[in-house]
Structure 1
Amino acid sequence: MKIIVPMAGRGSRLRPHTLTVPKPLIPVAGKPIVHRLVEDIAKVLNQPIEEVAFVIHESFGATVEKDLLAIATKIGAKGTIYYQNEALGTGHAIMCAKDSLSGPAVIAYADTLIRADFDLDQNADSVIWVKQVDQPEAFGVINVNEKNEIVELVEKPKEFVSDLAVIGIYYFKDVAVLKNELQAVLDNNIIHGGEYQINDGIKQMMAKGMIFVPGQVDEWMDCGNKDVTVDTNSRMLNFLHKDGENLVAANVRIENSTIIPPCYIGEDVILINSTVGPNVSLGKATHVTNVKIKNSLVQTHAHIRNANLDNAMIGNHATFDGEFKSISIGDYSVLE
């Protein structure tokens, strides 16, 4: 089994946090989004992972590439890096990894996290994972027949088709078939919205009689913008807390402070005269003094003083001293 992770986008909706760090490497509950995604997929597949192929922008740099390869190594797989330097769509991103597109594979876009427990349908040519949503008109959705086979993919339907939204995770019994169909999409310049889309390859597979079935996840957590990323951090903290994970590093320095779980508190964090939690992540070496903070996500080496924060997201090496509550400040910002 292979895992293909297209992640070349910089994440403009999550700025300023993605100006210096690619969105899939933003930490949620103390671990980068893409790291959690790959580990969670490997866990639910419950079979050896041969390779993890990451499709990134060349500008991400050597440090990011090293971190990504380490993720693959951690689950016992070979790590491979491919580049997509032009934003030409989901189909184009997958084809940037064409040398790895053979055999059984999961394709997963790195801006979403899941909680799931499932078995792959061995009789299907492909599985498209979906989640029931309240506003299907905002998503791509599937339509199924009486056999629970997917017969239609509709992007942001104006009229009701179904409430099962595609979450961006796919399984292919032989991903080389998708590669061949996407090559035809590229060769024939089949473009929607100025981009080559995975759905056009999938539709061609369906037209040739291949069987697609839906898979459902228990939880689908988006990381598209600041508010939903903070919410995803809170939800993930609660899941990990219920799983019994220890989320507080052993060397946290606590002076006249209280931690209300669930919280992730990284190594070398200092808490002075503060109340932290619930639903807070504090990255490594963050210093918090005279602060009340809940439902917030703080990255590494930040300094926060004299604040009352709720629904806040603070970047690496940022300094904040003030009375605002719901804030979003990027790396190396200073507000005093």
Structure 2
Amino acid sequence: MHVQLAGSAGYVDDAVDALSSGSVYVSREVDGSTALADQLQAQVGDASIGIAVFSDNAALEASGPDIVSELADRTGFDTIIVAVGDDLSAGSRVLESGEAMRIANQAESAGGTLEESLSQTVQTIVQESAPAPAETGGGAGGVVIALAIAAAVVVAGVIAAIAAVRARRARTRRSQTGQELPDSVRGPVDALRALSGEYAALGGAGNQTAAETAREIDAITANAAQLFARLAEKGAEDQFQLAEIEYGDKLGKLSAALDRRYLLDILVNPHLWDDPDERVVEVRDAVDAVSEQLVDNIKQVNARRGLHFQVSLDTLSGRRKELRDWDREFRRADGAGELPSA
């Protein structure tokens, strides 16, 4: 049986060690850890899914999305699912970008127990990851398969309906996916998700900076979804609006800086740019700053403290006229309007 329970090492390192020889890691700090580990292992089967379940204490070491990224880098699983307390995070190399996190968010929004949320997440990801079945002949076997599929569809429909009803009760503005990105933030996040694939492709060709940037973009988009989902769940309307203003602006600027016409082109054609190394450092510093602020804001929401914003990207776009111009173009295309003139 590929099950490991936590030892006494650091949370993330302990999970990495356990997942090097198994598929499921459950901290002994989690109630019913042995039974939960057995249940999850039975559901995972032979699928390339690594699961790590922590108590709330693990949040002192890293956020859920950060743990997902680290486990993905340090283990060989196609998909990683992480629970820190009752908060679920997930990432996958075989599903579309953001799909695993969407599945985890939807399961969490259903409002069940941790075991139920994890179970629903695992089952849905296993189904989404499975290859399409080959066509078979008719007869009794075909009838059985058809009935099984019909039953699965009914169950999935019931689960989705329950999740949607509970989510609407939690907040009327919540979308059916369980994510709560406002329109002004969704545009930049979608743009960043698209760029992540391009950076990952360049990274696969041997560009280490591009590979690191792809991982950082994935962390930012995942944490942005986490931040707004948690704000919506807690009904913090004023904080939600502040975050919408903050990240509509910051992620828009970041999208312009990471655009294929700027940083991506600099990485591909550094000889065609003035001060290419300096430009790369400027953008990477901005990415790090926004990523750190998102994590800090999530921690503030969890602790029910007011959001605190310290990052300014004005220097980034102010020093480079082309970035300021592209930022304006992005906002016009996204319907966010012009920025004030410098």
* TM-score, normalised via structure 1 length: 0.25
Q: Of Structure 1 and Structure 2, which has the larger fraction of its residues in helix?
A: 2
Q: Of Structure 1 and Structure 2, which has the larger fraction of its residues in strand?
A: 1
* TM-score, normalised via structure 2 length: 0.25
